[in-house]
Structures are given as structure tokens and as C-alpha cells.
């Protein structure tokens, strides 16, 4: 009786070993959080690199350190109409081909100065360009706008870089104007 169980287990194990090589584990899943967009994790990473090129890390954190790419995708998914969403996704998918055309390499393999050059050339595409270049220009314009908006509205900027103080704020009636050093720009 134990021999039957052993043979049955061996048959199941052999069948599983035969099926495993035929399974494709490399397929990227589409991120379900962005229901109107067909975004894969690879495209999300590319978008993070583009946002990090627009606002690179230096003394302050960069755009990808603050996960601005997620903000961009949420804004595109929720706030833009279908045509703009389609154009954004097409531009994101075609961006590596645009990068190869401009610099000869994929965007992720470029140095930071070359990345800046690719993004700058994409943003400077004029009205006389073909349809693919207009798509890249529109994609980069949307990305730049939402990158700046997401960065400036992040918790890091609002709490550590330029702290917000409520109006009217603290009252101190005996202050010399010459001693005021940091103006509160938010009120």
C-alpha cells in the first residue's frame, strides 16, 4: 500500500516538474490601483526616474524619494480625461524609444546629464513635429506639472522645508523689523 502512495506522489512530482518550465513567470502584472491606466511596475519605475530627473536629489530629497510617481499616476488616473490618459500612457510606453533615438541608450542606463538632455529635448518639441513626438511632449508636460505639484504638496516640503504656520500666528508686539530673518511665505 505504501508503494502505491509513493508511486502516486512520484507521478505528481514528475508532472509538476514537467509543467514548471512551460510557465511564464516573467509577465508583468498591471497595477490595479490605476484602473484607467495600463501601468506595469517597470513603467512606474521609469516614471520615477523621469520625475527624479525633473527634481533631482541634492540638499533636499528628490522626487522619487517622496514617491511623486505615485502622485502623478493617481492624478492622471483620477483627474484627466480618457484622451489625455491614453496619450500619457502611450508617451510613457514610447519614452524609452525616444531616449534611444536621442541619446542611443535606454533612459535608465543614462547618466544624469544625459537624462536631463533627453527630458529637455522632449519638452522643447515644437508644433511642427510628428504625432509620436507630440505625444512625448504632452506626456512630459503632464509629468513635469504633476511632479512639481506633488513635490511642493508633499509632507516633507510642508513640514521640514517651509513649515506652515496658521494665521494669525504667534503675536509678539516688540520685534524690530531688522531682526526678522525668515518670512513665512504661507501666511
| Cis peptide preceding 184, ω within 30 of 0 | no
pLDDT of residue 12: 76
Alpha-carbon span 160 to 111, nearest angstrom? 29
Range with the poorest average pLDDT among 5-19, 36-50, 71-85, 127-141: 5-19
Question: Is 25 part of any domain?
Answer: no
Which domain, by its residues, includes 116? 41-164
pLDDT of residue 140: 96
Question: Is 70 part of any domain?
Answer: yes
Average pLDDT estimate for 133-145: 95
Confidence of residue 160 (pLDDT cuts 50, 70, 90): confident
Percentage, residues of the chain above pLDDT 90: 55
Predicted confidence (pLDDT) per residue in 12-26, tens digit: 777 666 666 655 555
Alpha-carbon span 80 to 49, nearest angstrom? 22
Question: Is 171 part of any domain?
Answer: no
pLDDT of residue 84: 95
Question: Is 141 part of any domain?
Answer: yes
pLDDT of residue 24: 55
Question: Is 103 part of any domain?
Answer: yes
**Burial, 91: exposed, middle or buried (Cβ in 10 Å; 0-12, 13-18, 19+)?**
buried
Beta carbons within 8 Å of 106's beta carbon, 6+ residues apart: 96, 99, 100
With a cut of 80, say whether residue 132 has pLDDT above it. yes
Residue in 110, 142, 141 with CA at minimum distance from that of residue 123: 141
Amino acid at each position: 500500500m505504501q508503494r502505491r502512495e509513493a508511486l502516486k506522489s512520484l507521478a505528481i512530482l514528475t508532472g509538476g516538474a514537467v509543467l514548471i518550465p512551460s510557465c511564464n513567470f516573467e509577465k508583468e502584472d498591471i497595477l490595479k490601483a490605476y484602473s484607467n491606466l495600463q501601468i506595469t511596475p517597470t513603467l512606474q519605475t521609469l516614471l520615477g526616474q523621469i520625475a527624479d530627473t525633473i527634481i533631482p536629489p541634492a540638499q533636499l530629497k528628490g522626487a522619487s524619494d517622496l514617491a511623486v510617481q505615485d502622485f502623478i499616476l493617481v492624478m492622471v488616473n483620477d483627474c484627466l480625461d480618457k484622451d489625455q490618459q491614453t496619450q500619457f500612457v502611450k508617451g510613457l510606453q514610447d519614452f524609452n524609444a525616444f531616449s534611444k533615438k536621442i541619446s542611443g541608450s535606454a533612459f535608465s542606463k543614462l547618466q544624469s546629464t544625459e537624462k536631463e538632455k533627453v527630458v529637455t529635448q522632449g519638452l522643447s518639441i515644437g508644433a511642427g513635429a510628428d504625432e509620436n513626438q507630440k505625444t512625448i511632449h504632452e506626456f512630459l508636460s503632464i509629468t513635469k506639472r504633476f511632479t512639481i505639484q506633488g513635490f511642493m504638496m508633499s509632507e516633507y516640503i510642508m513640514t521640514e522645508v517651509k513649515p506652515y504656520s496658521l494665521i494669525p500666528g504667534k503675536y509678539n508686539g516688540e520685534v524690530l523689523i531688522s531682526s526678522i530673518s525668515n518670512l513665512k511665505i504661507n501666511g
